[in-house]
Copies of this chain bind each other. A is one copy, B any other.
Amino acid sequence: MKVTIKEVAKLANVSPSTVSRVISDNSRISLDTKKKVNEAMKELGYHPNAIARSLVNKSTHTIGVVMPKSAHLSLANPFFPEALRGISARANKKGFFVMLSVEDNEMDKHSNIENIVRAGVVDGVIMLYYRLGDETFNMLKDNKFPFVVVGKPVNGNSNRVNYVDNDNIGAAYEATTHLINKNKNPIGLITGPMNLTVSLDRLEGYKRALSDRDISYNSDFVKESDFSQEGGFNAMVTLLKSGNCPKAILATDDLLALGAINAIKKAGLKIPRDISIISFNNIPAAEFLTPPLTSIDINPFELGYEATELLFQCLENRKSTYQARIVPTKLIERGSC
């Protein structure tokens, strides 16, 4: 069926090894032979079989990408397609393939990615999320399998893991400062779950920005919530009801902002006149809202691209040294501040 190296060899009147060497452009092969073999390959439409090659090379030229199943994360968010584009772009450039694994808790015993790793079909893995005590994470770590996390693993781990992340402290600092500069005060923070590094970092940036402008930090203005529209709504309602409602809101996720916006509108207040709002992720809906939402683009394409780059670096250096890469964010100013 498929044409093999042997048939090329026969047609070119050489041995299979010679053909192999022509493919890898070995310098010991004479120009004559090279031409002869190349012609034979063209004539037969030969393409080397990656599987056979992998077997002997012990490298599949494939990276695995793990996506969380949790629909809500990916739903309102171009993060995953964009990150995949970034990964794909970098991988293609190096002739690597990309194998996808969507986490799925319906698996009987082993997760899909575990099977992939065990079966030896990928050289390394990129995790597009991090959860505390994540099984996949631990399994990769235990097996000393090369992998990179997008997002910063919690403190205990972060110096023994390769990861790519935004400067969340810096971005939150910038956003908060942006609000301060608009003379909005006090500033409230509606944040996602505090067991996530990203939340902690953004809180830290918020605090630092306040401190640098000599504004005292008041935990009454900080509301924690899960990543949902309702959560944002409820948090905002609580803030509105308190005697001293913030004049501006920093939300750590656009979804939270959407909820907060609804609460603000319901209270009969105007954005940005009465309350300004800024948030993270720059979802597509942001520009269609009234007023359009000022948001921070976290650059998912670049996160994917850099993660892949870093993974390649791991695969080349045998020794395991850990590295973190930071991808810049961008504040997209629209009408909500």
In the complex, what distance in Å separates the CA atom of A89 from the CA atom of B98?
Answer: 18
Interface: A107 (CB within 8 A): yes
Contact A78 B74 (CB under 8 A): yes
Closest residue of chain B to A289 (Cβ to Cβ) is B288
Select which of B74, B98, B116, B118 is within 8 A of A81 by beta carbon: B74
User: Which residue of chain B has the shortest Cβ distance to A85 in the bound complex?
Assistant: B102
Residues of B within 8 A of A118 (CB): 47
Minimum CB–CB distance for A112 against chain B, Å = 5
Interface contact A100-B119, CB-CB below 8 Å? no
Q: Is A120 an interface residue (CB 8 A)?
A: yes
Rounded to whole angstroms, the CA-CA distance of A98 and B62 in the bound complex is 12
- CB contacts under 8 Å to B, within A33-70, are 47-52, 54-55, 60, 62, 65, 67, 69
Q: Let me know if A275 is at the binding interface, CB within 8 A.
A: no
Q: A119-B49, A120-B50, A288-B285 are in contact. Are A100 and B98 (CB under 8 A)?
A: yes
Smallest distance from the beta carbon of A317 to chain B beta carbons, Å?
Answer: 18
Select which of B48, B100, B288 is within 8 A of A84 by beta carbon. B100
Q: Name which residue of chain B comes closest to A114, CB basis.
A: B47
**In this complex, what residue of B is CB-closest to A121?**
B50
Q: Which among A82, A88, A283 has the greatest number of chain B C-beta atoms within 10 A? A: A88
Chain A stretch 171-196: residues in CB contact (< 8 A) with chain B: none
Asked if B65 and A88 make an inter-chain contact with CB atoms under 8 angstroms apart, the answer reads no
Inter-subunit contact B75/A88 (CB<8 Å): no
Give CA–CA (A107, B95) in the complex, Å: 10
- In the complex, the count of this chain's copies comes to 2
Q: Is A258 part of the binding interface, using a Cβ–Cβ cutoff of 8 Å? A: yes
Looking at the assembled complex, report how far the CB atom of A114 sits from the nearest CB atom of chain B, in whole angstroms: 9
The yes or no answer to A99 lying at the interface (CB within 8 A) is yes
- The listed residue (B69, B71, B97, B100) touching A121 by CB distance below 8 A is B97
Cα distance, A49 to B119, chains bound together (Å):
5
Task: Tell yes or no: A2 within 8 A of B by CB.
Answer: yes
Residues 145-157 of A, flagged 1 when their CB comes within 8 A of B and 0 if not, give 0000000000000
Known: A62-B121, A84-B102, A258-B288. 20 other contacts (CB 8 A): A47-B119, A51-B51, A51-B119, A51-B120, A52-B55, A71-B85, A74-B81, A74-B82, A76-B284, A81-B81, A88-B100, A88-B104, A88-B112, A92-B104, A92-B107, A92-B112, A97-B116, A98-B99, A100-B100, A285-B285
Footprint of B on A, CB under 8 Å?
2, 47-52, 54-55, 60, 62, 65, 67, 69, 71, 74-76, 78, 80-82, 84-85, 88-89, 92, 95, 97-102, 104, 107, 112, 115-116, 118-121, 229, 258, 283-285, 288-290
